[in-house]
Structure 1
Protein backbone atom coordinates (compact mmCIF):
# COMPACT_ATOMS: atom_id res chain seq x y z
CA UNK A 1 0.00 0.00 0.00
CA UNK A 2 2.84 2.36 0.93
CA UNK A 3 6.40 2.25 -0.39
CA UNK A 4 8.18 5.01 1.57
CA UNK A 5 7.88 5.00 5.35
CA UNK A 6 9.10 7.34 8.11
CA UNK A 7 9.31 5.57 11.49
CA UNK A 8 9.55 7.89 14.51
CA UNK A 9 10.74 6.56 17.86
CA UNK A 10 11.75 7.98 21.22
CA UNK A 11 13.46 4.67 22.14
CA UNK A 12 10.82 3.93 24.80
CA UNK A 13 7.78 3.42 22.58
CA UNK A 14 8.66 0.02 21.11
CA UNK A 15 8.96 1.36 17.57
CA UNK A 16 12.73 1.28 17.87
CA UNK A 17 12.47 -2.52 17.58
CA UNK A 18 11.38 -2.16 13.94
CA UNK A 19 14.97 -1.37 12.94
CA UNK A 20 15.64 -5.11 13.30
CA UNK A 21 12.73 -6.00 11.01
CA UNK A 22 13.59 -4.15 7.82
CA UNK A 23 13.31 -7.39 5.77
CA UNK A 24 9.81 -7.95 7.19
CA UNK A 25 8.74 -4.41 6.31
CA UNK A 26 10.19 -4.86 2.83
CA UNK A 27 8.16 -8.06 2.43
CA UNK A 28 5.05 -5.89 2.85
CA UNK A 29 6.08 -3.65 -0.06
CA UNK A 30 8.05 -0.89 1.68
CA UNK A 31 11.13 0.12 -0.32
CA UNK A 32 12.43 3.14 1.59
CA UNK A 33 12.52 3.42 5.40
CA UNK A 34 13.65 6.45 7.38
CA UNK A 35 14.22 5.94 11.10
CA UNK A 36 13.93 9.14 13.12
CA UNK A 37 14.82 9.90 16.73
CA UNK A 38 14.66 13.47 18.00
CA UNK A 39 17.21 14.45 20.64
CA UNK A 40 16.05 17.23 23.00
CA UNK A 41 18.22 20.29 23.39
CA UNK A 42 20.67 20.26 26.31
CA UNK A 43 19.10 22.73 28.72
CA UNK A 44 21.53 22.65 31.62
CA UNK A 45 22.86 26.16 31.79
CA UNK A 46 21.52 29.49 30.62
CA UNK A 47 21.53 28.80 26.88
CA UNK A 48 20.07 25.57 25.42
CA UNK A 49 22.45 23.83 23.03
CA UNK A 50 22.61 20.79 20.78
CA UNK A 51 23.45 17.63 22.68
CA UNK A 52 25.99 16.21 20.24
CA UNK A 53 26.92 13.30 22.51
CA UNK A 54 23.29 12.12 22.72
CA UNK A 55 22.96 12.44 18.94
CA UNK A 56 25.98 10.20 18.35
CA UNK A 57 24.74 7.63 20.87
CA UNK A 58 21.34 7.48 19.16
CA UNK A 59 22.91 7.13 15.72
CA UNK A 60 25.21 4.34 16.96
CA UNK A 61 22.25 2.56 18.52
CA UNK A 62 20.44 2.50 15.18
CA UNK A 63 23.53 1.35 13.28
CA UNK A 64 24.24 -1.56 15.64
CA UNK A 65 20.72 -2.95 15.24
CA UNK A 66 20.42 -2.38 11.50
CA UNK A 67 21.23 -5.68 9.79
CA UNK A 68 20.31 -7.71 6.72
CA UNK A 69 18.92 -4.87 4.61
CA UNK A 70 17.46 -6.50 1.46
CA UNK A 71 18.78 -5.49 -1.94
CA UNK A 72 16.74 -2.66 -3.42
CA UNK A 73 15.63 -1.34 -0.02
CA UNK A 74 16.97 2.04 1.11
CA UNK A 75 17.33 2.79 4.82
CA UNK A 76 18.11 6.24 6.20
CA UNK A 77 18.80 7.31 9.80
CA UNK A 78 17.94 10.82 10.97
CA UNK A 79 18.78 12.09 14.47
CA UNK A 80 17.91 15.80 14.55
CA UNK A 81 18.03 18.03 17.60
CA UNK A 82 14.78 19.50 18.93
CA UNK A 83 11.22 18.54 19.82
CA UNK A 84 9.69 15.64 17.94
CA UNK A 85 6.62 17.71 17.02
CA UNK A 86 8.98 20.14 15.23
CA UNK A 87 11.51 17.75 13.69
CA UNK A 88 9.10 15.12 12.32
CA UNK A 89 7.32 17.50 9.88
CA UNK A 90 10.69 18.82 8.70
CA UNK A 91 12.07 15.35 7.99
CA UNK A 92 8.78 14.37 6.34
CA UNK A 93 9.05 17.38 4.05
CA UNK A 94 12.61 16.39 3.14
CA UNK A 95 11.91 12.74 2.29
CA UNK A 96 8.24 12.90 1.24
CA UNK A 97 7.25 9.54 2.79
CA UNK A 98 3.96 7.86 1.92
CA UNK A 99 3.19 7.17 5.58
CA UNK A 100 4.52 8.12 9.03
CA UNK A 101 4.60 5.58 11.88
CA UNK A 102 4.39 6.92 15.41
CA UNK A 103 3.47 5.67 18.86
CA UNK A 104 -0.01 6.33 20.22
CA UNK A 105 -0.10 6.91 23.99
CA UNK A 106 -3.17 6.21 26.11
CA UNK A 107 -4.56 9.67 26.84
CA UNK A 108 -7.94 11.28 27.28
CA UNK A 109 -8.89 14.41 25.36
CA UNK A 110 -8.37 16.44 28.54
CA UNK A 111 -4.87 15.03 29.00
CA UNK A 112 -4.02 15.90 25.41
CA UNK A 113 -5.15 19.47 25.97
CA UNK A 114 -3.24 19.84 29.23
CA UNK A 115 -0.03 17.92 28.53
CA UNK A 116 0.09 17.59 24.77
CA UNK A 117 0.66 14.58 22.55
CA UNK A 118 3.07 14.16 19.66
CA UNK A 119 0.54 12.03 17.78
CA UNK A 120 -2.25 14.58 18.13
CA UNK A 121 0.15 17.38 17.20
CA UNK A 122 1.20 15.55 14.04
CA UNK A 123 -2.45 15.24 13.01
CA UNK A 124 -2.51 19.03 12.79
CA UNK A 125 0.99 19.53 11.37
CA UNK A 126 1.32 16.84 8.70
CA UNK A 127 -0.33 16.22 5.34
CA UNK A 128 1.07 12.67 5.22
CA UNK A 129 -1.01 9.69 6.39
CA UNK A 130 -0.16 8.60 9.93
CA UNK A 131 -0.14 5.04 11.23
CA UNK A 132 -0.45 5.27 15.01
CA UNK A 133 0.29 2.15 17.04
CA UNK A 134 0.00 1.39 20.74
CA UNK A 135 3.49 1.47 22.21
CA UNK A 136 2.50 -1.05 24.88
CA UNK A 137 1.65 -3.68 22.25
CA UNK A 138 4.75 -3.22 20.09
CA UNK A 139 6.89 -3.46 23.22
CA UNK A 140 5.40 -6.82 24.26
CA UNK A 141 5.30 -8.64 20.90
CA UNK A 142 7.68 -11.57 20.56
CA UNK A 143 10.08 -11.42 17.64
CA UNK A 144 7.93 -13.91 15.73
CA UNK A 145 4.81 -11.81 16.32
CA UNK A 146 6.55 -8.59 15.34
CA UNK A 147 7.88 -10.20 12.18
CA UNK A 148 4.31 -11.01 11.09
CA UNK A 149 3.00 -7.60 12.15
CA UNK A 150 5.61 -5.82 10.02
CA UNK A 151 4.74 -7.94 7.00
CA UNK A 152 1.01 -7.26 7.34
CA UNK A 153 0.83 -3.63 8.49
CA UNK A 154 -1.70 -2.68 5.80
CA UNK A 155 -3.05 -6.02 4.60
CA UNK A 156 -6.63 -5.67 5.90
CA UNK A 157 -8.19 -2.26 6.59
CA UNK A 158 -11.40 -1.59 8.49
CA UNK A 159 -13.11 1.46 6.97
CA UNK A 160 -15.92 3.02 9.01
CA UNK A 161 -18.35 4.58 6.53
CA UNK A 162 -21.52 6.62 7.03
CA UNK A 163 -22.01 8.54 3.79
CA UNK A 164 -20.49 11.74 5.23
CA UNK A 165 -17.93 13.81 3.36
CA UNK A 166 -15.03 12.63 5.60
CA UNK A 167 -15.94 8.98 4.99
CA UNK A 168 -16.21 9.54 1.23
CA UNK A 169 -12.82 11.26 1.30
CA UNK A 170 -11.40 8.32 3.26
CA UNK A 171 -12.60 5.82 0.65
CA UNK A 172 -11.12 7.97 -2.10
CA UNK A 173 -7.70 7.99 -0.40
CA UNK A 174 -7.80 4.22 0.06
CA UNK A 175 -8.67 3.83 -3.62
CA UNK A 176 -5.71 6.02 -4.60
CA UNK A 177 -3.36 3.88 -2.53
CA UNK A 178 -4.87 0.65 -3.84
CA UNK A 179 -4.25 1.66 -7.45
CA UNK A 180 -0.48 1.81 -6.90
CA UNK A 181 -0.04 -0.74 -4.13
CA UNK A 182 2.99 -3.07 -4.20
CA UNK A 183 2.68 -6.83 -3.99
CA UNK A 184 1.84 -8.38 -0.61
CA UNK A 185 0.32 -5.15 0.63
CA UNK A 186 -3.32 -4.10 0.82
CA UNK A 187 -5.47 -7.12 0.02
CA UNK A 188 -8.76 -6.73 1.83
CA UNK A 189 -11.13 -4.08 3.25
CA UNK A 190 -14.03 -4.22 5.68
CA UNK A 191 -16.66 -1.52 5.12
CA UNK A 192 -18.74 -0.95 8.23
CA UNK A 193 -21.71 1.39 8.57
CA UNK A 194 -23.07 1.68 12.11
CA UNK A 195 -26.57 3.08 12.45
CA UNK A 196 -26.53 4.82 15.81
CA UNK A 197 -29.36 3.64 18.03
CA UNK A 198 -29.71 7.15 19.41
CA UNK A 199 -29.64 9.13 16.13
CA UNK A 200 -32.35 10.27 13.68
CA UNK A 201 -35.29 9.08 15.79
CA UNK A 202 -37.76 10.54 13.32
CA UNK A 203 -36.65 7.99 10.73
CA UNK A 204 -37.42 4.27 11.36
CA UNK A 205 -34.28 2.22 12.06
CA UNK A 206 -35.13 -0.44 9.49
CA UNK A 207 -35.32 2.26 6.81
CA UNK A 208 -31.94 3.68 7.92
CA UNK A 209 -30.38 0.22 7.76
CA UNK A 210 -31.77 -0.44 4.29
CA UNK A 211 -30.57 2.95 3.03
CA UNK A 212 -27.10 2.31 4.47
CA UNK A 213 -26.92 -1.14 2.86
CA UNK A 214 -27.71 0.31 -0.56
CA UNK A 215 -25.05 3.02 -0.29
CA UNK A 216 -22.48 0.64 1.13
CA UNK A 217 -22.98 -1.78 -1.74
CA UNK A 218 -22.02 0.93 -4.23
CA UNK A 219 -18.80 1.65 -2.36
CA UNK A 220 -18.07 -2.07 -2.15
CA UNK A 221 -18.26 -2.37 -5.93
CA UNK A 222 -15.88 0.58 -6.38
CA UNK A 223 -13.23 -1.05 -4.20
CA UNK A 224 -13.68 -4.50 -5.73
CA UNK A 225 -12.94 -3.04 -9.15
CA UNK A 226 -9.40 -2.38 -7.86
CA UNK A 227 -8.84 -6.05 -7.16
CA UNK A 228 -9.58 -5.86 -3.43
CA UNK A 229 -11.55 -8.39 -1.46
CA UNK A 230 -14.27 -6.38 0.26
CA UNK A 231 -16.64 -7.24 3.09
CA UNK A 232 -19.50 -4.84 3.82
CA UNK A 233 -21.81 -4.82 6.81
CA UNK A 234 -24.39 -2.54 8.41
CA UNK A 235 -24.88 -2.74 12.17
CA UNK A 236 -27.26 -1.13 14.63
CA UNK A 237 -25.75 0.03 17.91
CA UNK A 238 -23.08 2.22 19.47
CA UNK A 239 -20.60 3.25 16.71
CA UNK A 240 -17.49 3.03 18.92
CA UNK A 241 -18.38 -0.38 20.30
CA UNK A 242 -19.42 -1.85 16.96
CA UNK A 243 -16.32 -0.63 15.14
CA UNK A 244 -13.95 -1.98 17.80
CA UNK A 245 -15.87 -5.28 17.95
CA UNK A 246 -15.65 -5.61 14.17
CA UNK A 247 -11.88 -5.00 14.33
CA UNK A 248 -11.58 -8.06 16.56
CA UNK A 249 -14.06 -10.20 14.68
CA UNK A 250 -12.55 -9.66 11.22
CA UNK A 251 -8.88 -9.82 12.25
CA UNK A 252 -8.06 -6.49 10.64
CA UNK A 253 -4.57 -4.92 10.43
CA UNK A 254 -5.59 -1.30 11.04
CA UNK A 255 -8.60 0.98 11.32
CA UNK A 256 -8.59 3.71 8.65
CA UNK A 257 -10.12 7.07 9.58
CA UNK A 258 -10.26 10.69 8.50
CA UNK A 259 -11.80 13.82 9.99
CA UNK A 260 -12.39 17.47 9.20
CA UNK A 261 -11.87 18.66 12.79
CA UNK A 262 -9.57 16.15 14.52
CA UNK A 263 -7.00 18.11 16.52
CA UNK A 264 -8.72 21.46 16.01
CA UNK A 265 -10.16 23.70 18.72
CA UNK A 266 -13.66 22.66 17.72
CA UNK A 267 -12.87 19.20 19.11
CA UNK A 268 -12.73 20.57 22.65
CA UNK A 269 -16.45 21.35 23.08
CA UNK A 270 -17.61 18.81 20.47
CA UNK A 271 -15.55 15.64 20.34
CA UNK A 272 -14.35 14.45 16.98
CA UNK A 273 -15.59 10.92 16.29
CA UNK A 274 -12.27 10.02 14.68
CA UNK A 275 -10.33 11.44 17.61
CA UNK A 276 -12.31 9.52 20.18
CA UNK A 277 -12.01 6.31 18.17
CA UNK A 278 -8.26 6.85 18.01
CA UNK A 279 -8.08 7.19 21.81
CA UNK A 280 -10.14 4.05 22.43
CA UNK A 281 -8.63 1.70 19.86
CA UNK A 282 -5.93 -0.81 20.69
CA UNK A 283 -5.65 -1.60 17.00
CA UNK A 284 -3.32 0.49 14.84
CA UNK A 285 -5.11 3.54 13.43
CA UNK A 286 -4.32 4.81 9.93
CA UNK A 287 -5.29 8.48 9.77
CA UNK A 288 -5.63 10.29 6.44
CA UNK A 289 -5.35 14.06 7.00
CA UNK A 290 -8.12 16.04 5.27
CA UNK A 291 -7.37 17.95 2.10
CA UNK A 292 -5.95 21.40 2.84
Structure 2
Protein backbone atom coordinates (compact mmCIF):
# COMPACT_ATOMS: atom_id res chain seq x y z
CA UNK A 1 0.00 0.00 0.00
CA UNK A 2 2.64 2.51 1.10
CA UNK A 3 6.41 2.50 0.63
CA UNK A 4 7.57 6.10 1.10
CA UNK A 5 6.74 7.76 4.43
CA UNK A 6 7.07 11.35 5.52
CA UNK A 7 6.95 11.68 9.33
CA UNK A 8 6.31 15.23 10.52
CA UNK A 9 7.29 15.88 14.13
CA UNK A 10 7.61 18.92 16.35
CA UNK A 11 9.88 16.95 18.71
CA UNK A 12 7.19 17.32 21.40
CA UNK A 13 4.70 14.81 19.95
CA UNK A 14 6.87 11.72 20.30
CA UNK A 15 6.79 10.89 16.58
CA UNK A 16 10.57 11.17 16.45
CA UNK A 17 10.55 7.87 18.39
CA UNK A 18 9.74 6.14 15.10
CA UNK A 19 13.42 6.77 14.39
CA UNK A 20 14.14 3.92 16.81
CA UNK A 21 11.83 1.61 14.85
CA UNK A 22 13.38 1.83 11.39
CA UNK A 23 13.99 -1.91 11.02
CA UNK A 24 10.39 -2.60 12.08
CA UNK A 25 8.96 -0.10 9.60
CA UNK A 26 11.16 -1.60 6.88
CA UNK A 27 9.95 -5.11 7.71
CA UNK A 28 6.41 -3.82 7.11
CA UNK A 29 7.22 -2.91 3.50
CA UNK A 30 8.52 0.64 3.92
CA UNK A 31 11.43 1.49 1.62
CA UNK A 32 12.01 5.20 2.27
CA UNK A 33 11.39 7.42 5.28
CA UNK A 34 11.88 11.17 5.70
CA UNK A 35 11.56 13.01 9.01
CA UNK A 36 10.74 16.74 8.87
CA UNK A 37 10.85 19.22 11.73
CA UNK A 38 10.17 22.94 11.42
CA UNK A 39 11.98 25.32 13.75
CA UNK A 40 9.75 28.17 14.88
CA UNK A 41 11.21 31.64 14.66
CA UNK A 42 9.53 35.04 14.69
CA UNK A 43 11.14 38.31 13.74
CA UNK A 44 9.89 41.00 16.11
CA UNK A 45 11.60 43.66 13.96
CA UNK A 46 13.50 44.93 17.00
CA UNK A 47 17.27 45.00 16.81
CA UNK A 48 19.42 42.60 14.82
CA UNK A 49 17.77 39.20 14.13
CA UNK A 50 19.42 36.42 16.09
CA UNK A 51 21.36 33.82 14.11
CA UNK A 52 19.60 30.51 14.83
CA UNK A 53 21.85 28.42 12.59
CA UNK A 54 23.42 26.72 15.66
CA UNK A 55 19.95 25.72 16.90
CA UNK A 56 19.03 24.25 13.52
CA UNK A 57 22.31 22.33 13.38
CA UNK A 58 21.82 21.05 16.93
CA UNK A 59 18.29 19.80 16.24
CA UNK A 60 19.41 18.27 12.95
CA UNK A 61 22.20 16.44 14.81
CA UNK A 62 19.80 15.20 17.51
CA UNK A 63 17.40 13.88 14.89
CA UNK A 64 20.21 12.22 12.94
CA UNK A 65 21.39 10.52 16.12
CA UNK A 66 18.02 8.83 16.44
CA UNK A 67 18.36 7.56 12.87
CA UNK A 68 21.75 5.90 13.29
CA UNK A 69 20.59 2.26 13.11
CA UNK A 70 19.39 2.08 9.50
CA UNK A 71 18.79 -1.40 8.03
CA UNK A 72 20.05 -2.34 4.59
CA UNK A 73 17.56 -1.50 1.86
CA UNK A 74 15.96 1.41 3.73
CA UNK A 75 16.66 5.03 2.76
CA UNK A 76 16.27 7.58 5.57
CA UNK A 77 16.43 11.39 5.40
CA UNK A 78 15.99 14.20 7.92
CA UNK A 79 14.97 17.77 7.09
CA UNK A 80 15.14 20.55 9.72
CA UNK A 81 14.46 24.13 8.62
CA UNK A 82 13.02 27.41 9.81
CA UNK A 83 9.57 27.35 8.27
CA UNK A 84 5.88 27.20 8.97
CA UNK A 85 5.02 23.54 9.67
CA UNK A 86 2.48 23.30 6.85
CA UNK A 87 4.89 24.77 4.30
CA UNK A 88 7.75 22.48 5.32
CA UNK A 89 5.55 19.37 5.26
CA UNK A 90 4.33 20.18 1.75
CA UNK A 91 7.93 20.86 0.67
CA UNK A 92 9.05 17.54 2.15
CA UNK A 93 6.30 15.61 0.37
CA UNK A 94 7.36 17.08 -2.96
CA UNK A 95 11.10 16.75 -2.33
CA UNK A 96 10.98 13.10 -1.25
CA UNK A 97 8.03 11.91 -3.35
CA UNK A 98 6.25 10.62 -0.25
CA UNK A 99 3.08 8.53 -0.64
CA UNK A 100 1.95 8.77 3.01
CA UNK A 101 2.26 11.46 5.68
CA UNK A 102 2.30 10.51 9.37
CA UNK A 103 1.54 13.33 11.78
CA UNK A 104 0.25 13.83 15.29
CA UNK A 105 -2.88 15.61 16.50
CA UNK A 106 -4.39 15.96 19.95
CA UNK A 107 -8.04 15.11 20.56
CA UNK A 108 -10.24 18.21 20.53
CA UNK A 109 -13.51 19.60 19.19
CA UNK A 110 -14.28 21.81 16.21
CA UNK A 111 -14.70 25.00 18.27
CA UNK A 112 -11.37 24.58 20.05
CA UNK A 113 -9.72 23.94 16.72
CA UNK A 114 -11.16 27.10 15.16
CA UNK A 115 -10.13 29.20 18.16
CA UNK A 116 -6.60 27.90 18.62
CA UNK A 117 -5.83 26.31 15.26
CA UNK A 118 -4.59 22.89 14.18
CA UNK A 119 -1.65 22.31 11.86
CA UNK A 120 -2.98 18.91 10.78
CA UNK A 121 -6.54 20.05 10.01
CA UNK A 122 -5.25 23.14 8.20
CA UNK A 123 -2.99 20.92 6.13
CA UNK A 124 -5.68 18.47 4.94
CA UNK A 125 -7.22 20.57 2.12
CA UNK A 126 -3.73 21.07 0.64
CA UNK A 127 -2.65 17.42 0.66
CA UNK A 128 -2.54 15.20 -2.41
CA UNK A 129 -1.49 12.09 -0.50
CA UNK A 130 -3.15 10.20 2.39
CA UNK A 131 -2.24 11.06 5.98
CA UNK A 132 -2.15 8.83 9.05
CA UNK A 133 -3.11 10.86 12.11
CA UNK A 134 -1.90 9.48 15.46
CA UNK A 135 -2.33 10.70 19.04
CA UNK A 136 0.90 11.99 20.60
CA UNK A 137 -0.28 10.74 24.02
CA UNK A 138 -0.58 7.23 22.62
CA UNK A 139 2.91 7.28 21.08
CA UNK A 140 4.35 8.67 24.31
CA UNK A 141 2.69 5.94 26.39
CA UNK A 142 4.03 3.07 24.26
CA UNK A 143 7.17 1.36 25.47
CA UNK A 144 9.78 1.00 22.74
CA UNK A 145 8.87 -2.67 22.40
CA UNK A 146 5.20 -1.78 21.90
CA UNK A 147 6.02 0.96 19.40
CA UNK A 148 8.21 -1.41 17.40
CA UNK A 149 5.38 -3.94 17.24
CA UNK A 150 2.96 -1.24 16.12
CA UNK A 151 5.47 -0.06 13.50
CA UNK A 152 5.43 -3.54 11.95
CA UNK A 153 1.63 -3.54 11.78
CA UNK A 154 0.58 0.03 10.92
CA UNK A 155 -1.89 -1.16 8.26
CA UNK A 156 -2.50 -4.73 9.40
CA UNK A 157 -6.23 -4.48 10.25
CA UNK A 158 -8.17 -1.56 8.77
CA UNK A 159 -11.72 -0.50 9.61
CA UNK A 160 -13.53 1.33 6.81
CA UNK A 161 -16.73 3.13 7.91
CA UNK A 162 -19.00 3.17 4.86
CA UNK A 163 -22.19 5.02 3.94
CA UNK A 164 -22.49 4.57 0.13
CA UNK A 165 -21.65 8.25 -0.48
CA UNK A 166 -19.21 9.17 -3.27
CA UNK A 167 -16.11 9.94 -1.10
CA UNK A 168 -16.34 6.55 0.61
CA UNK A 169 -16.98 4.80 -2.72
CA UNK A 170 -13.82 6.42 -4.07
CA UNK A 171 -11.98 5.32 -0.95
CA UNK A 172 -12.83 1.67 -1.65
CA UNK A 173 -11.67 2.13 -5.26
CA UNK A 174 -8.40 3.65 -4.04
CA UNK A 175 -7.83 0.81 -1.58
CA UNK A 176 -8.52 -1.69 -4.37
CA UNK A 177 -5.83 -0.09 -6.54
CA UNK A 178 -3.28 0.10 -3.74
CA UNK A 179 -3.84 -3.48 -2.61
CA UNK A 180 -3.63 -4.79 -6.16
CA UNK A 181 -0.21 -3.11 -6.46
CA UNK A 182 1.05 -4.59 -3.18
CA UNK A 183 3.54 -7.43 -3.17
CA UNK A 184 1.76 -10.67 -2.14
CA UNK A 185 4.94 -11.89 -0.44
CA UNK A 186 5.03 -8.88 1.90
CA UNK A 187 1.42 -7.77 2.57
CA UNK A 188 1.02 -4.64 4.66
CA UNK A 189 -2.71 -5.23 5.13
CA UNK A 190 -4.16 -8.54 6.27
CA UNK A 191 -7.73 -7.62 7.19
CA UNK A 192 -10.26 -5.01 6.06
CA UNK A 193 -13.62 -4.64 7.79
CA UNK A 194 -16.18 -2.48 5.99
CA UNK A 195 -18.69 -1.14 8.51
CA UNK A 196 -22.13 0.34 7.94
CA UNK A 197 -23.99 1.86 10.90
CA UNK A 198 -27.77 2.15 10.88
CA UNK A 199 -28.78 5.23 12.84
CA UNK A 200 -32.39 4.73 14.12
CA UNK A 201 -32.64 8.46 14.91
CA UNK A 202 -31.98 9.48 11.30
CA UNK A 203 -35.07 10.84 9.58
CA UNK A 204 -34.82 8.37 6.70
CA UNK A 205 -34.86 5.43 9.16
CA UNK A 206 -37.64 6.52 11.47
CA UNK A 207 -40.59 4.16 11.36
CA UNK A 208 -38.60 1.47 9.50
CA UNK A 209 -38.04 -2.07 10.75
CA UNK A 210 -34.40 -2.33 11.87
CA UNK A 211 -34.08 -5.95 10.75
CA UNK A 212 -35.26 -5.03 7.26
CA UNK A 213 -32.74 -2.20 7.17
CA UNK A 214 -29.97 -4.55 8.28
CA UNK A 215 -30.74 -7.12 5.58
CA UNK A 216 -30.77 -4.44 2.91
CA UNK A 217 -27.53 -2.92 4.19
CA UNK A 218 -25.81 -6.32 4.21
CA UNK A 219 -26.88 -6.96 0.60
CA UNK A 220 -25.79 -3.48 -0.52
CA UNK A 221 -22.44 -3.82 1.26
CA UNK A 222 -21.76 -7.15 -0.43
CA UNK A 223 -22.26 -5.46 -3.80
CA UNK A 224 -20.21 -2.37 -2.86
CA UNK A 225 -17.09 -4.39 -1.97
CA UNK A 226 -17.08 -6.60 -5.09
CA UNK A 227 -14.29 -4.56 -6.70
CA UNK A 228 -12.23 -4.60 -3.53
CA UNK A 229 -12.69 -8.36 -3.20
CA UNK A 230 -11.39 -8.92 -6.75
CA UNK A 231 -8.26 -6.86 -6.26
CA UNK A 232 -7.47 -7.77 -2.66
CA UNK A 233 -7.63 -11.54 -2.78
CA UNK A 234 -4.80 -11.89 -0.27
CA UNK A 235 -6.70 -9.75 2.26
CA UNK A 236 -9.34 -11.10 4.61
CA UNK A 237 -12.35 -8.96 3.72
CA UNK A 238 -15.59 -8.81 5.64
CA UNK A 239 -18.61 -6.57 6.14
CA UNK A 240 -20.32 -5.61 9.37
CA UNK A 241 -23.63 -3.84 10.09
CA UNK A 242 -24.27 -2.26 13.48
CA UNK A 243 -27.15 -0.21 14.87
CA UNK A 244 -26.74 2.97 16.90
CA UNK A 245 -24.98 6.33 16.87
CA UNK A 246 -22.49 6.26 13.95
CA UNK A 247 -19.52 7.81 15.76
CA UNK A 248 -20.02 5.72 18.89
CA UNK A 249 -20.39 2.48 16.91
CA UNK A 250 -17.39 3.20 14.70
CA UNK A 251 -15.08 3.86 17.65
CA UNK A 252 -16.48 0.85 19.54
CA UNK A 253 -16.03 -1.43 16.53
CA UNK A 254 -12.41 -0.35 16.11
CA UNK A 255 -11.78 -1.46 19.69
CA UNK A 256 -13.97 -4.58 19.67
CA UNK A 257 -12.60 -5.92 16.39
CA UNK A 258 -8.93 -5.25 17.19
CA UNK A 259 -8.30 -2.76 14.38
CA UNK A 260 -4.95 -1.02 13.93
CA UNK A 261 -6.37 1.96 12.00
CA UNK A 262 -9.58 3.55 10.77
CA UNK A 263 -9.59 4.54 7.08
CA UNK A 264 -11.93 7.27 5.90
CA UNK A 265 -12.30 10.10 3.38
CA UNK A 266 -14.11 13.42 3.12
CA UNK A 267 -13.83 16.58 0.98
CA UNK A 268 -15.11 18.84 3.78
CA UNK A 269 -12.79 18.29 6.75
CA UNK A 270 -10.84 21.47 7.44
CA UNK A 271 -12.91 23.53 5.00
CA UNK A 272 -15.37 26.37 5.57
CA UNK A 273 -18.28 24.03 4.88
CA UNK A 274 -17.57 22.03 8.03
CA UNK A 275 -18.96 24.89 10.08
CA UNK A 276 -22.41 24.42 8.54
CA UNK A 277 -22.37 20.71 7.59
CA UNK A 278 -21.22 18.46 10.41
CA UNK A 279 -18.70 15.91 9.23
CA UNK A 280 -18.65 12.41 10.72
CA UNK A 281 -15.16 12.00 9.30
CA UNK A 282 -14.09 15.17 11.07
CA UNK A 283 -15.46 13.79 14.34
CA UNK A 284 -13.49 10.57 13.83
CA UNK A 285 -10.29 12.53 13.18
CA UNK A 286 -10.75 14.62 16.29
CA UNK A 287 -11.93 11.94 18.71
CA UNK A 288 -10.58 8.52 17.71
CA UNK A 289 -7.74 7.08 19.79
CA UNK A 290 -7.05 4.65 16.95
CA UNK A 291 -4.78 6.00 14.20
CA UNK A 292 -6.88 7.45 11.38
CA UNK A 293 -5.82 6.85 7.78
CA UNK A 294 -7.42 9.84 6.08
CA UNK A 295 -7.71 10.30 2.31
CA UNK A 296 -8.27 13.97 1.41
CA UNK A 297 -9.91 15.05 -1.82
CA UNK A 298 -6.56 15.48 -3.55
CA UNK A 299 -5.49 11.93 -2.77
CA UNK A 300 -8.67 10.39 -4.18
CA UNK A 301 -8.65 12.47 -7.36
CA UNK A 302 -5.79 10.47 -8.91
Q: What is residue 193 of structure 2 aligned with on the other side? A: 190
The RMSD of aligned alpha carbons is 1.6
Aligned to 1:178: 179
Q: Which runs of 5+ in 2 are unaligned?
A: none
Q: Aligned partners of 1:204 and 1:162: how far apart in 2?
A: 19
C-alpha displacement at 1:117, in angstroms?
0.4
Residue 43 (structure 2) aligns with: 43
Contact 2:173 2:228 in 1 (8 A): no
Cα deviation code 1:239-269 (max 9, x no counterpart): 1111111101111110001012111111012
Q: May I ask how many residue pairs the two structures share in their alignment?
A: 292
3-state SS of 1:245 partner? helix
Q: Deviations over 1:16-39 (max 9, x none)?
A: 101111101001100000011011
Q: Is residue 173–residue 288 contact of structure 1 (8 Å, CA) maintained in 2?
A: no
Runs of 5+ consecutive residues of structure 1 not aligned to the other structure: none
Report the counterpart of residue 168 of structure 1 in structure 2.
169
Identify which range, 16-25 or 89-98, moves more after superposition.
Answer: 89-98
| Structure-2 residue corresponding to 1:215 | 220
Mapped to 2, the partners of 1:45 and 1:51 lie a distance apart of 15
- Structure 2 CA distance for partners of 1:41 and 1:250, relative to 1, 3 Å: same
Q: Distance in 1 between matches of 2:107 and 2:51?
A: 30
Deviation, 1:50, is 6.6
How many angstroms does 1:48 deviate by? 6.0
Out of 197, 204, 210, the position equivalent to 1:205 is: 210
1:49 CA displacement:
6.8
Structure 1 position 113, deviation (Å): 0.7
Q: Which residue of 1 aligns with 2:241?
A: 234
Does 2:26 correspond to 1:30? no
Matched with 2:275 is 268
| TM score, norm. by length of structure 2 | 0.92
Find the aligned partners of 2:229 and 2:287 in 1 and give their Cα distance.
Answer: 30
Match of 1:256 in 2: 263
Q: Which deviates further from its counterpart, 217-226 or 263-272?
A: 217-226
Pick which of 27-36 and 66-75 moved more: 66-75
SS of residue in 1 equivalent to 2:20: helix
- What is the CA–CA distance in structure 2 between the aligned matches of 1:65 and 1:278, rounded to whole Å? 29
- String of CA shifts for 1:140-188, please: whole Å, max 9, x gaps: 1011100100000011110001111111011111112111224141111
Runs of 4+ in structure 1 displaced over 4 angstroms? 47-50
Contact 1:41 1:48 in 2 (8 A): no
Distance in structure 1 (CA, Å) of the matches to 2:189 and 2:265 = 18
